[in-house]
Structure 1
Amino acid sequence: MEGGGNGCGVVAVEAGMVLLQVLFSVLQIVIKLVLNDGMDARVFVAYRFIFAAAFLCPVAFFVERKTPPPLTKKVVLYLFLCGLFGFAINQNLYVLAIKLTSATFVTAIANLTPATTFLLAILTRLETLKLRKPDGRAKFVGTLIGIGGAMLLTFYKGPQFKLLHRLPHPKLVHITEAHHSNPASMGNQILGSFLGIISCFTYPTWLVIQAKVSEVYPCHYSIAAMGCLFGAVQSTILALCVQRNMEHWRLGINIRLYSSAYAGLIASGFAFPLLSWCLRKKGPVFISVFSPLMLIFVAILSSLVLGEALYLGSVLGSILIVGGLYLVLWGKAKEQAEVSEDEDQGKEFTPVTAKGEMK
């Protein structure tokens, strides 16, 4: 019975992760649609976190109102930085990258996150490069392969795949047809790649801050809610600095309202707590394994819904990035297994006094 329960738990986490990839994949398409409709990218990000904060703040209050830890200045500072790096900066860079390139392209670039996390840890001396050990070599080679895939994705296009274009396309592809931009120029492709890669560096920065605030303030709903609240304020200030025309802020009963609501309520308000639950159940390495699923979903949806072309360079670059991702994840998993084994051996050989107390 216990094993069956564990099996059901694993299946539940796996189902949750697949659902998350579907939700985030739809989000990429929604972002491209609303940008094609002419909505300012920074205004969209601001509305996303306004909707998310409006949803999550009441939820956090009712779920975690009984025993909240003290909200110190240190915790508030951490939450401010969570909003800044994890939401305001990261999402503005990400959405602008989608605007300059395509949803599939930026989704592929996002799989560089484990590699950029490892590179950032090396540069900040939080981790040492252990090339003599298999896990160290795997992470190093995986990082190089991922960066090579990103370069290929950026600078090589190649022949076009037309298989998906033969399938019937929904009417949604024609809704914003008048606003469709021309295929991304090389300049936009390079700038979009740069913004996407920078967003991959802001994400691990947010993870580090998130881990620190979770230690002193273990209320996951409140952290997500206040992070979104700070992100909403920061994103709104940024958007107002660059876009003061109120026409760009007006939401009617149209795709702009639907997209902002989906991004805030579903892809943030519902998805963030689900992701947090999966993370607590299985850990970050297991969660990262599902990331390439989103790339597949986005590639199919982009072709069917947006009519985006899929090129050989995109396919080859994505394969390299995903291959590098799994190498880095394998190295990280092996490293964690060795650390756990060393800790277990240390406990076995810990000297014990006559009273049974460990020295």
Structure 2
Amino acid sequence: MKRKLVLEDGTVFVGKAFGSNVDSIGEVVFHTGMTGYQEVISDPSNYGQIITFSYPLIGNYGINRDDFESIQPGIKGVVVKEASDFPSNWRSNMSLDEFLSLKNIPGIAGIDTRMLTRLIRDKGTLKGAICTFEENTDMILSRLQSDSFSDTPVKKVSATKPFPSPGRGKSVVVVDFGVKHGILRELTERGCDIKVVPYHTSAEEIKSLNPDGVLLSNGPGNPEIIQEVCEMIQEIQQYFPLFGIGLGHQLFALANGCNTEKMTSGHRGTSYPVKELETGKIIFTSQNHGYEVSESSIDTSILTITHKALNGDSVEGIKHNQHPAFSLQYEPEASPGSEDGKKAFDQFLNIMNEQIEGVE
């Protein structure tokens, strides 16, 4: 069955339908990773997006039970050059087509994803619609141009109630802006006693849990939409070690007087080089973000830049000059991607240990 992808600039791609037989509208972005499509599709940070995979063959190792980053994916569609019908992997439980059908997500295959990627790279992220071939293109364009996508995606992916993941180590409160399971796995592997709380949890509620540290998770959308959480961050960073990841990094920056801005096409892939400024070391990182912290807005008397991207020179890490608080734009949990950044979780634990020893 034919299906088409219509972009807000009037570009139309015609391809083959797979996945669910529903129409959808979302922000069309591209991901450059060769592997990790299951993690990308299930990443809460991708809520509301139509994901274009630039690698030409997707689905060849199927879908398994272990590599999910959330229970219910929030993406609006998948765009590929070729979707594998017969995956080959001992862990595979189902094909990509079967999984997308199960989760009510449409897919389109057989289009020139290289052309689409270059279009997004040159023009910036575009709104798009996946629909049946017979759908009236002019009506779709009218809807795309009138739809502002002004909702708050964090509200859609954050936990509605606090929940624990018990351990016997350091007590960590994770503020859930759309937390990936990979982050929770890294904390669990280090024995942490985890309490996940909704994004709108107040500073007083977090303080009442008496944590050893607080982690601000990744998540979707424009950080400025939920600036109300900055007051909580300003309070919490004075009392507990704090670690921000992705959206959590951007919110930590906003809480300390910085500005954020939308990137032209964003960074979404598994091998982005980042420089640690203190050591000069280059690490390869997994990234998934469409906004960045504006370097010119950083007050160096409050914050210090710790990491910079080699592709585009964007700010990839900052730390507070007075408080034991730091944040990273890239995804240190590496789900999927390079594991170079995982030492950030050890750094977070070391800071918590130092604070406890200092109190004693």
Classify the TM-score, shorter chain. under 0.3
TM superposition score normalised by structure 1: 0.21
The higher-RCO structure (CA 8 Å, 6+ apart) is 1
Compare the two structures and name the one with the higher helix fraction: 1
TM superposition score normalised by structure 2: 0.21
